[in-house]
Each structure stands twice: as structure tokens, then as C-alpha cells.
Amino acid sequence: MKAQRRRAWIVGVLAIIVSIVIFLVPFSFVVLQAAKSPAEASSLSFSWPSKWQFGENLVAALAANDGFLIRALINSAVLTVGSLTLMVIISAMAGYVLARKKSRWGPLVNFFVLAGLIVPPTVVPTIWVMQGLQLFGTMGGMILLEATFGLSFCILLFRAFVGGVPRELDEAAVLDGANPITLFTRIVLPLLRPVIVTVVVVQSVFVFNDFALPLYFLPGAQNVTAQLALYTFSGQNLSFYNLLFMAILIITIPPLVGYIFFNRQIVGGITSGAVKG
């Protein structure tokens, strides 16, 4: 028993050390460079700044290029919120139907859901379709794309979680006179809170950090997102590494804060779906 505890303690210490090396060391490096002067930051040395200029660099990074970074953060926020709203609503309903209703079309639908995780997106045909629908280069079209590419993962999570919800709740609600919409919105949906939080946090990080899809399907300086802004910022400020690292820090903070606050809900939602499904 003591040997097992000692082994578990050693494994825990090693895990903490690896986490520090992988995450905290690079993050500390970014913070230190963001607080330095341009001359000190250009050396890219892992050292304390002679004078902390964190506030000045923050204001300068946000004001650079006529507030280019602020506009990008607003666009990323709109894209993330819109995409997540569609993902949660559609995948919750689809997962509930796939878990509760058994029909001959079920295997075919499941095949297409799994295919959405495997088949990569095609750029040129998608652009043709979006141009035909007059959605290419618009925020609405980009929201639809992000939601579409994330639906397969979300549907699988919701279907697995709904499989663990007792059917007796549905039957009792129907006996009380609940129609299908009332049954789903008032009985089933409140029980899906853990998996909803999981979907929101995981997919929000993915959408917020997405670089390829906005690059292909959302051209234009007014539609720039956070990652595209960082790419542009890095090309325009190679002589001001302090501002570049400050921009990296600003873009990193939103998903990092969300993950820290909802870490337990993410693990709980995924494991509950895995066990109950």
C-alpha cells in the first residue's frame, strides 16, 4: 500500500513538473517579453525587464493600426458566440433524437455524423456554394461554417449524454400532457447542463483560435479575426517584439480564463457521456 502511494506521489510530481515545463515556462516567457522595452525584447532573452512597461505596451498594442487588434477581438467574439449558439441548439436536438428515436435511418445518420469528424473540409467547392448563397466573405456565412464543422463532435457528446438520461422522465412528462417541445426544453435540456458547458468551452477555444477557416472564407480587413490579426501584427511589428508578445498575451487570455473556470465541468461532461453512453 505504501509503495502504491509512493508511486502515485512520484507520478503526481512528475506530472506537475511536465506541466510547468510545457505551459508555465513559455507563458512566463511571453509575459516577460510583453513587459519589456523594444530594445530588451528584441534580444528574446529569458530575463527580468530592467523597467516594467506592461501598461504602456498594453495600450500601444491595442491602439496599433487604428485599433486593429480590438476590431479583431470583437469579430472573434461575435463569431464564437454565434457559432456556439447554433452548435448547442442543433446538436442538442439532434443528439436527443438519435438517442431516443430508433428508426431505419439511424445508421445512415450516424454514418454521416462520424464522416463529419473524418472527412476534411474542401475549400474551393465550399467557396462556390457560399458565393452562390451570397454568404462568402460575410460574418453570417462564417458562423454557419464554424457551426457546421463542429456539429459532428457536439452531436456525439449530446447523444452519449442523453443515453444516460432515464426514459422514465420522458414517459412521466408525456403522461402529464407535455408535448415534444415542452418535453425537450423543460425536462431534458436542463439535465444537459454538464455537456452544454463542455461543448461551449471546448468549441469556443477551437473557434476563437481558428486560423484556416477565416483565412479562406472570411477575407477583408474589416472581417479580420484574432488569429489573423496576430499573423498580420507579427508581419508589421518585427522590430517591436514587446508589442508582438503583448498581442499574443491578449489573444491567449480569453480561452485560458474560460478553461481555468470551467475545467471541472469539461472533464465531468466528457466522462459522464462516456460512462452513460
Q: What is the pLDDT of residue 145?
A: 92
**Percent of the chain beyond pLDDT 70?**
91
The DSSP output letter for 225 is -
Helix (H) or strand (E) holding 68: helix 54-100
Query: Domain span at residue 93?
Result: 67-239+248-276
Sequence-ordered list of residues with C-beta below 8 angstroms from that of 213, at least 6 positions apart, any chain: 121, 142, 145, 146, 149
Residue 65 to residue 59: CA distance in whole angstroms: 12
Asked whether residue 145 is domain-assigned, the answer is yes
For the chain, the straight-line distance linking the first and the last C-alpha, in angstroms and rounded, comes to 34
pLDDT above 80: residue 3: no
The number of distinct structural domains making up the chain is 1
Asked whether residue 23 is domain-assigned, the answer is no
Asked whether residue 3 is domain-assigned, the answer is no
pLDDT (mean) for 84-99: 92
Asked whether residue 126 is domain-assigned, the answer is yes
pLDDT in tens, 121-135: 788 888 898 999 899
pLDDT (mean) for 9-23: 79
Please report where in the chains the cell 456539429 appears, as a residue.
Answer: 151
Q: What is the pLDDT of residue 139?
A: 93
**Percent of the chain beyond pLDDT 90?**
18
Asked whether residue 34 is domain-assigned, the answer is no
Among candidates 242, 273, 215, which has minimal Cα distance to 72? 215
The DSSP output letter for 224 is -
Asked whether residue 106 is domain-assigned, the answer is yes
Asked whether residue 31 is domain-assigned, the answer is no
Q: What is the pLDDT of residue 271?
A: 52
Asked whether residue 6 is domain-assigned, the answer is no
Residue 93 to residue 175: CA distance in whole angstroms: 21
Confidence of residue 240 (pLDDT cuts 50, 70, 90): confident
**pTM score, whole prediction:** 0.82
pLDDT in tens, 176-218: 888 888 888 888 888 888 889 888 888 998 999 899 899 889 8
Please report where in the chains the cell 471546448 appears, as a residue.
Answer: 202
pLDDT (mean) for 43-61: 86
Query: Exposed (0-12), middle (13-18) or buried (19+): which is 87, by Cβ within 10 Å?
Result: buried
Residue 16 to residue 105: CA distance in whole angstroms: 48
pLDDT above 70: residue 160: yes
- Residue 97 sits in a domain whose CATH number is 1.10.3720.10
pLDDT above 90: residue 7: no
